[in-house]
Structure 1
Amino acid sequence: MNEHSDLTSTTLGFIYPLFIIYGLYIIFNGHISPGGGFQGGAVLSAMFISKYLILPLLDTPLAKIQTVEKLLLLLIVATPILFLLTRFNTAYAVLNTPYLILMNTLIGFKVACGMSVIFLRFVFYEMQ
């Protein structure tokens, strides 16, 4: 893995922003179309993994990614509880769509962090 092709690096540099936009599109439109948090998070994670495969960085902040993942899990659990206990879903029906977008976003980033952590764990343990 020490040598990488200039063609793959250039191609990844070109499609990397496009796939990030595509992953965010899937996440933000998950409430009105098929897809959502999990599928968009998988696309974002796949781009992170492909970037790592092209240009492996051994100083990847695995602990920071895990901390963000735990914080996102806390928000994923707390948001619906607060939304239902405050009865915003019945009192303000207009807030249902922003709630779904928020939940898709939280789930998408949680999935992206989780899949990236799983991949990096395999890589780091395989190198030992």
Structure 2
Amino acid sequence: MTDNSEIITRMTGLLYPFILLFGFYIILNGHASPGGGFQGGAVLAAVFITRYLVDPNRCIRLRTLKTAEKILFVCIILYPTVFLFSATANHTELMNLIYLIAMNFLIGLKVCSGFTIIFFRFAFYEGGIL
């Protein structure tokens, strides 16, 4: 893949902000409409995947991505526990809304990092890099 098309490179660069915006929109509105963390995370992972497909020579730090995924997993476990056992047993509607949005956001970032790691593992093994 040494011959990159200038049109494809520029168009994907132009589409990145819109893909990110659409992914975060799906995540942040997942509590009120179809979608949520998993679907939005898959859309966000498309940015990293297309970035690799357009320019495979750009480096990606898989170790940093794996660390971020582990930290997000711990946050996904701890946040509901803290919310459940918080001192205020009478949760208001606003607190529930913030909880749902935060959980969708955490799950979306976790799915994004997970899908990206899976894709790069397949790409590196298939390419013989690892």
When normalised by structure 2's length, the TM-score is: 0.92
Q: What is the rounded CA distance, in whole Å, between the counterparts of 1:126 and 1:20 in structure 2?
A: 27
- Following superposition of structure 1 onto structure 2, how do residues 1-128 of structure 1 map, counting pairs within 5 Å? 1-57=1-57, 59-86=59-86, 88=88, 90-128=90-128
- Answer yes or no: is the 8 Å Cα contact 1:89–1:96 preserved in 2: no
- The number of aligned residues is 128
**Structure 2 stretches of 5 or more lacking a match?**
none
Q: What is the rounded CA distance, in whole Å, between the counterparts of 2:123 and 2:31 in structure 1?
A: 34
- Whichever residue aligns with residue 92 of structure 1, its letter is T
Over the aligned positions, Cα root-mean-square deviation in angstroms equals: 1.4
> What is the DSSP-based 3-state SS (H/G/I as helix, E as strand, rest coil) of the residue aligned with 1:90?
coil
| Cα displacement (A) at 1:88 | 4.4
Q: What is the rounded CA distance, in whole Å, between the counterparts of 1:88 and 1:8 in structure 2?
A: 53
| Cα displacement (A) at 1:34 | 0.6
> What is the DSSP-based 3-state SS (H/G/I as helix, E as strand, rest coil) of the residue aligned with 1:48?
helix
| Structure ranking higher in helix proportion | 1
Residues 1:88 and 1:106: Cα distance change in structure 2 (over 3 Å): farther
| Cα displacement (A) at 1:58 | 5.2
Once superposed, which parts of structure 1, at least 4 consecutive aligned residues long, lie more than 4 Å away? Answer: none
Q: What is the rounded CA distance, in whole Å, between the counterparts of 2:65 and 2:125 in structure 1?
A: 17
Q: Deviations over 1:4-55 (max 9, x none)?
A: 1111011101111111001000001111111010000000001210111001
Q: What is the rounded CA distance, in whole Å, between the counterparts of 1:17 and 1:88 in structure 2?
A: 39
When normalised by structure 1's length, the TM-score is: 0.94
Q: Deviations over 1:81-118 (max 9, x none)?
A: 11111164634342000110000000000000000000
**Structure 1 stretches of 5 or more lacking a match?**
none
- Answer yes or no: is the 8 Å Cα contact 2:52–2:58 preserved in 1: no
